[in-house]
Structure 1
Amino acid sequence: MSITFVWTIVLVIAIIVEAITVDLVSIWFGLGAIAALIGEFFGLDQTLQIVLFTIISIVCIFVTRPLAKKYLRGNTIKTNLDRVIGKHCLVTETITADNKGEVKVMGTLWMATSLNNMTIQAGEYAEIVSIEGAHVIVKKINRESGDDGL
């Protein structure tokens, strides 16, 4: 079996896997196979072709994977719960490093943990930083007058 045939098979398999998954899991190996085929065309030794395939594949993974994850992220489902992020809330049950507490925001009670495991006493105010699963992450604030939808 010739090395040209091997690189062609690697390229075809990478393209088929990529077409099936559409998650950019094998395209880099296809690019590496193309580089190795070019090396074969120019008469490079098989060892150098393997090195070329490996280097091109690894470089492509490290250069393009972060960009692909950033721009092709299709599994993110936005919900209307995201609207509570940045809102001020009233702590109704004390939040400690060891125990989740509870906060009230926009008329709804949420289980809560604090950013950096700070203790926030019941009756104090906090700002919702993010949502993790079924609870919110909050940071303590000094509330000034004004209604924030509590």
Structure 2
Amino acid sequence: MISFEFWIILAIIAIILEILSLSFFLISIGMGFIAAGILNYYNYNSIEQITIFAIVTIICILLSRPLANKLTKNKSNRKSNTQRLINKKGIVIKTITPNKSGLIKVYGETWKAISDEEINTDEEVIIKKISGVKLIVEKKIK
């Protein structure tokens, strides 16, 4: 016969491993172990304990998967902070030439910038793309 302590020790191990992995899978197994341990405490037989363990585990997995997917969902459709700079205005603080990068100031931050045309200091530019840590800009048409 499986002992009450056996189920509870397994539950504790599963919960500790869940804390380390954050998979929402081991917590479901831990809940199944706790349910089986409760049945053991009230002297249900081993077959009933194992059956309840399986049922509770499956129910917890089915209920926790949508939550886990929502919490770990890749939010790739959100723009990164740098991507939010596209189509924004900046001011040239060091001349940009087709062969040499310059510097622009955008929202108080200084960025390296490149362009296909020469853009002089104090001219406004529009950020068109981002390439690594450089902004690709064009002169703002007035």
Q: Displacement, 1:65?
A: 1.3
Deviations 1:29-66 (A, max 9, x none): 11111110111122211011001000000011001211
1:140 maps to: none
2:29 maps to: 29
1:18 maps to: 18
CA distance in 2, matches of 1:46, 1:68: 31
CA distance in 1, matches of 2:53, 2:85: 47
2:19 is paired with a residue of what secondary structure? helix
Distance 1:34 1:58, change over 3 A: same
Deviations 1:52-84 (A, max 9, x none): 0000000110012112321x2276474154898
CA distance in 2, matches of 1:46, 1:83: 63
CA distance in 2, matches of 1:18, 1:45: 28
1:89 maps to: none
1:24 is paired with a residue of what secondary structure? coil
Gaps of 5+ in 2: 87-126, 130-142
Matched residue type, 2:41: F
CA distance in 2, matches of 1:60, 1:48: 18
CA distance in 1, matches of 2:63, 2:74: 22
1:43 maps to: 43
- TM-score of the pair, normalised by structure 2: 0.50
Query: C-alpha root-mean-square deviation of aligned residues, in Å?
Result: 2.9
Q: Displacement, 1:2?
A: 4.4
> In percent, how many aligned pairs have the same letter?
35
CA distance in 2, matches of 1:83, 1:74: 24
Gaps of 5+ in 1: 85-105, 109-150
Deviations 1:82-102 (A, max 9, x none): 898xxxxxxxxxxxxxxxxxx
Does the 8 A contact of 1:10 with 1:29 survive in 2?
no
CA distance in 1, matches of 2:85, 2:51: 50
CA distance in 2, matches of 1:50, 1:59: 14
1:73 maps to: 72
2:72 is paired with a residue of what secondary structure? coil
After alignment, is 16-25 or 26-35 more displaced? 16-25
1:59 maps to: 59
Larger Rg: 2
